[in-house]
Amino acid sequence: MSSEQDFTKRKLWGGRFTGSTDPLMHEFNQSLKYDKRMYAADVKGSIAFSKALLKAGIVNEHEQKEIERGLKTVEGEWAEGKFAVQADDEDIHTANERRLSEIIGKDIGGKLHTGRSRNDQVATDMRIWLMEESTQVEQYLKDLLNVMVSRAEKEVDAIMPGYTHLQRAQPVRWSHLLLSHAQSFLSDLDRLRQLQPRISVLPLGSAALAGNPYSLDRELLRKELGFKSIGENSMHAVADRDFIVEWLQWASLLQIHMSRMAEDLIIYSSAEFGFVQLSDAYSTGSSIMPQKKNPDSLELLRGKAGRTFGQMAGFMMSLKGVPSTYNKDLQEDKEPLFDAVDTISAALRIAEGVIATLTINPAKMAQALTMDMLATDIADYLVRKGVPFRETHHISGRSVALAEQNKIQISDLTMEQWKDLSPHFTDDVMDVFDFENSVEKRNAIGGPARGMIKRQVDVARERIGK
């Protein structure tokens, strides 16, 4: 037999083939270069499977213990960077099984794959890996939220303009702005937790597509691997990648929220605003303009949203035409998912660092407040005097126009001018022109008053801790 034929024969599927594999096809087909990061998940699934084989009578107790010993040795080699990859290692599953047989011998190692296919094996590995990664990502998200909530609680005194259409609108607290972004991340936290049970569905025991023929105890597998439920249909179980699509969709939405927060902070850190200043640790300089301090961390957070969405859209296009059960197209699930998990993990940690270390400039925020932002407060003042809101809105608008005509702040209108606008104005109208009072009057749930900031902080912490 030629060396090329021997190369093909050594593959798990090689017995059917008499010709050799094109080396380019081997490279095109193999996934070990990126799926090796699932080595621990693959070992975990294989050890559990060996225990199910023991219960089914396929291996004896000695053989199961040898398989487990060998697999733990394999895992150790990966962890220590000592695993020697061979040319015919197509993926993490074949690499681990090949090495297992070298350690404990083919007579025992060759029994591990009994009644198991790479189809249910890879689906299981992906779910194990993603469950563990999601737990870590959840912690990163909680860390970011805790920093945001803590800052909001401590910096409640700072009042700044709130904007609509990027035009000054009404005064709000800096804390209110920060917590507005935290609300988006809290929803992301809820959605990630809701996604976990749909990731935690056991495919192992489905074999290639038609199920396991050895009366395998899948409930034993479920418990051993910590899955919440078992895939009820073997054809669906080996081909289901909805959990990956959902995770990519979740990641895309989180990155959009990250991008929107980054955009606010980029704007507010510019010299034109000066409301916040980024730490040097999360900024860079210009190669030609020494005065520049660029918010590169925030710009990258904003840019990564496109990358994550692209991974999701690309995989959905790979998935859309795949017929029933496993097809090799599904190998395209790994790189988008791995990249998205890496991107999200890094983005959350960078965002946490940015928020934890930036400084705010309450004086600059206060300088940006203008009396015309209290126009709605004037309308509210008249409402409290019994005037219908639609009429008060019109009167308030006229007062703004009058101040503009006279090139003065609205608060500088004379009492005579106020009386001309409406007989309902009295000397107490001047009490309206206080930004702190304006904010404190908005004390319904969801408002920026101090009491409502405290409520938002308490509710956020409760949701984070669930």
d(CA 427, CA 437): 17
Q: By C-alpha distance, which of 151, 194, 198 is closest to 176? A: 151
One of 165, 345, 393, 411 is an active-site residue; which one? 165
Q: Is 61 exposed, middle or buried (0-12, 13-18, 19+ CB in 10 A)?
A: exposed
257 tagged catalytic:
no
Question: Residue 430 — φ and ψ, nearest 5°?
Answer: -65, -20
200 tagged catalytic:
no
DSSP 298-361: HHHHHHHHHHHHHHHHHHHHHHTT--SS--GGGGGGHHHHHHHHHHHHHHHHHHHHHHHH-EE-
**Sign of the C-alpha dihedral, residues 42, 45, 47, 49?**
negative
One of 279, 286, 324, 394 is an active-site residue; which one? 286
d(CA 189, CA 140): 10
d(CA 78, CA 38): 10
Q: Do 429 and 418 contact (CB within 8 A), yes or no?
A: yes
d(CA 229, CA 88): 35
Q: How many CB atoms lie within 10 A of CB 137?
A: 21
Q: Do 266 and 283 contact (CB within 8 A), yes or no?
A: no
Q: How many CB atoms lie within 10 A of CB 70?
A: 26
Q: Please identify every residue annotated as catalytic.
A: 165, 286
